[in-house]
């Protein structure tokens, strides 16, 4: 499988972020590190409650993890969207905006980009013709791969992360240890992974926004890379005064849950636009499970009901909605984590 083969690649980073002044890591800005006083009410039982209504995952000879199936491949039987408060169908513009970001996320798995910092592949120059890779980010075990890309015509600094969510046996990871986090009590141990690239990430953004103060900072990630993108976004917001909810954006694809409701309420309270795209039955978006006290925070879920026809439902909610991808638990699969635009077949890196 694609992600596994990328994770096996060894070799040195040809390009790593090196800024002139690495002694002054920007400190946290206290006013941006206060827990939200508006703690959103959230029942962690929601996922289990819906699962109970939808039925037990036994038909179909399904394999289950933690009460969810990991291989349920029957298409979602839904052809219309019942619009309600905060629930509506995505427009073609909204879809093409996130699909372009998904394709950039897919390219994070290309060694020529995330190891060598090149932007000469045919898809690269098609998606962002004037892109220049400014830095790359690779964690110790190469489970995180990322790059920073600058486009003058788009006036955008992209930070893009991909990452494998598989354990050594090729299964999704299900162990999540608590890790302390500012300003709330904890996230899970996916934050430890972010710490490995934290300095490079923050120094890179700091240098770039100094030279390009009017550009947007657009942070993107797929799967485990989605968690990294979220931590990078919050970290940049907490340390760099120039970044606000008007120039900092986060888009994730098949992102796992990384924190509890205090954490999620903090994410929502920053008011940074966060689009969390979930393809169909993607299992990763439901891990760590809610019954371990995890929940997604942020404003918008784009649930891809049919990825062949770009049929996408949007749910607006400070934390999670029960109208989008939560509506089909426990019938999930792991393949849909690879069904985002640009990833579907093999990522074309040439
Ligand atoms: C799909 O849903 C409709 C209405 O909810 C139902 O009538 C139909 O039998 C379902 N089809 C399948 C294949 O489950
Ligand atoms: C990255 O951007 C910074 C800020 O503009 C610049 O000083 C540095 O030379 C760039 N590095 C590369 C490798 O392009
Ligand atoms: C994290 O969890 C795993 C699996 O439950 C366990 O083996 C490991 O020791 C834990 N690590 C820490 C640092 O607690
Ligand atoms: C849709 O997702 C599936 C995996 O669930 C993938 O095999 C397929 O290629 C995807 N289709 C498109 C158009 O992305």
What tokens appear for 112 in the block?
């020529």
Instruction: Give the separation between CA 98 and CA 108, rounded to whole angstroms.
Output: 16
Closest ligand to 208 CA? 2
297 CA from centroid of ligand 4 (Å): 26
- Hey, whose CA ends up nearest to atom 9 of ligand 2? 134
Q: Is 200 in the pocket of ligand 2 (CB under 6 A)?
A: no
Matching residue, tokens 């029957």? 74
Q: Is 310 in the pocket of ligand 4 (CB under 6 A)?
A: no
pLDDT of residue 3: 41
- Hey, whose CA ends up nearest to atom 2 of ligand 4? 339
Q: What is the pTM of this model?
A: 0.91
201 CA from centroid of ligand 2 (Å): 13
For 120, 150, 225, 256, 312, the CA distances from 99, given in Å and listed in that order, are 20, 19, 16, 19, 11
Q: Is 255 in the pocket of ligand 4 (CB under 6 A)?
A: no
pLDDT of residue 58: 65
Q: Is 307 in the pocket of ligand 4 (CB under 6 A)?
A: yes
Q: Please list, residue by residue across 178-196, b when 16 or more beta carbons sit within 10 angstroms of its beta carbon and e when fewer do.
A: ebebebbebbbebbebbeb
- Select the CATH number that applies to the domain covering 2-338 from these four: 1.10.1530.10, 3.40.605.10, 3.40.50.300, 3.40.50.1820: 3.40.50.1820
Ligand 4 atom with minimal separation from the 336 CA:
5
From first to last of the 350 residues of the chain, give the pLDDT tens digit: 334 333 333 223 334 444 445 779 999 999 999 998 887 778 899 999 999 899 876 656 667 777 888 889 899 999 999 889 999 999 999 999 999 999 999 999 999 999 999 999 999 999 999 999 999 999 888 889 999 999 999 999 999 999 988 877 877 887 788 888 888 877 888 898 899 999 999 999 999 999 999 999 999 999 999 999 999 999 999 999 999 999 999 999 999 999 999 999 999 999 999 999 999 999 999 999 998 899 999 889 999 999 999 999 999 999 999 999 999 999 999 999 999 999 976 678 98
Q: Which residues line ligand 3 (CB under 6 A)?
A: 175, 177
Q: Are 201 and 235 in contact (CB under 8 A)?
A: yes
Q: Is 308 in the pocket of ligand 4 (CB under 6 A)?
A: yes
The count of other CB atoms within 10 Å of the CB of residue 82 is 9
Residue-range domain boundaries for the chain = 2-338
Ligand 4 atom with minimal separation from the 282 CA:
5
Mutate to test the pocket of ligand 2, among 152, 207, 240 (most ligand atoms within 8 A of CB): 207
Mutate to test the pocket of ligand 4, among 307, 311, 345 (most ligand atoms within 8 A of CB): 307
Q: Are 183 and 266 in contact (CB under 8 A)?
A: yes
pLDDT of residue 345: 66
Three-state SS for the chain is: CHHHHHHHCCCCCCCCCCCCCCCCCCCCCHHHCCCCCCCCCCCCCHHHHHHHHHCCCCHHHCCEECCEECECCCCCCCCCCCCECCEEECCHHHHHHHHHHHHHHHHCCCHHHHCCCCCCCHHHHHHCCCCEEEEEEECCCCCEEEEEEEECCCCEEEEEEEECCECCCCCECCCCCEEECCCCCEEECHHHHHHHHHHHHHHHHHHHHHHCCCCEEEEEEEEHHHHHHHHHHHHHHHHCCCCCCCCEEEEEECCCCCECHHHHHHHHHCCCEEEEEEECCEHHHHCCCHHHCCCCCCCEEEEEEECCCCEEEEEECCCCCCCCHHHHCCCCECHHHHCCCCCCCCCCCC
77 CA from centroid of ligand 1 (Å): 6
315 CA from centroid of ligand 1 (Å): 23
Instruction: Give the separation between CA 231 and CA 104, rounded to whole angstroms.
Output: 18
Q: Is 336 in the pocket of ligand 4 (CB under 6 A)?
A: yes
| Nearest of 200, 199, 174, 153 to residue 288 by alpha carbon | 174
- Hey, whose CA ends up nearest to atom 1 of ligand 3? 177
What tokens appear for 261 in the block?
């409701």
């Amino acid at each position: 499988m694609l992600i596994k083969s990328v994770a096996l690649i060894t070799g040195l980073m040809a390009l790593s972020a090196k800024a002139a002044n690495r002694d002054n890591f920007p400190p946290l800005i206290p006013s941006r590190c206060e827990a939200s006083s508006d703690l959103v009410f959230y029942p962690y039982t929601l996922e289990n409650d819906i699962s109970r209504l939808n039925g037990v995952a036994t038909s179909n000879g399904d394999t289950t993890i933690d009460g969810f199936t990991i291989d349920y491949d029957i298409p979602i039987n839904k052809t219309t969207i019942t619009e309600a408060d905060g629930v509506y169908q995505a427009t073609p513009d909204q879809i093409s905006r996130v699909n372009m970001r998904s394709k950039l996320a897919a390219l994070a798995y290309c060694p020529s980009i995330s190891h060598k910092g090149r932007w000469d592949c045919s898809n690269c120059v098609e998606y962002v013709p004037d892109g220049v890779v400014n830095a790359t980010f690779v964690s110790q075990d190469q489970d995180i791969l990322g790059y920073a890309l600058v486009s003058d015509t788009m006036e955008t600094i992209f930070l893009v992360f991909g990452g494998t969510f598989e354990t050594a046996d090729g299964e999704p990871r299900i162990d999540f240890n608590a890790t302390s986090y500012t300003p709330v009590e904890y996230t899970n141990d996916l934050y430890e992974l972010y710490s490995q690239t934290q300095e490079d990430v923050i120094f890179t953004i700091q240098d770039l926004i100094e030279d390009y103060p009017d550009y947007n900072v657009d942070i993107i990630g797929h799967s485990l890379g989605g968690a990294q993108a979220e931590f990078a976004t919050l970290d940049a917001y907490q340390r760099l005064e120039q970044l606000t909810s008007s120039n900092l954006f986060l888009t994730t694809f098949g992102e796992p849950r990384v924190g509890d409701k205090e954490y999620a309420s903090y994410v929502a309270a920053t008011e940074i636009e966060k689009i969390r795209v979930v393809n169909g039955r993607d299992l990763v978006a439901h891990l760590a499970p809610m019954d371990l006290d995890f929940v997604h925070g942020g404003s918008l879920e784009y649930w891809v009901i049919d990825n062949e026809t770009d049929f996408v439902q949007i749910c607006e909610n400070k934390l999670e909605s029960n109208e989008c991808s939560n509506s089909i638990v426990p019938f999930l699969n792991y393949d849909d984590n690879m069904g985002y635009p640009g990833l579907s077949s093999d990522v074309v890196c040439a």
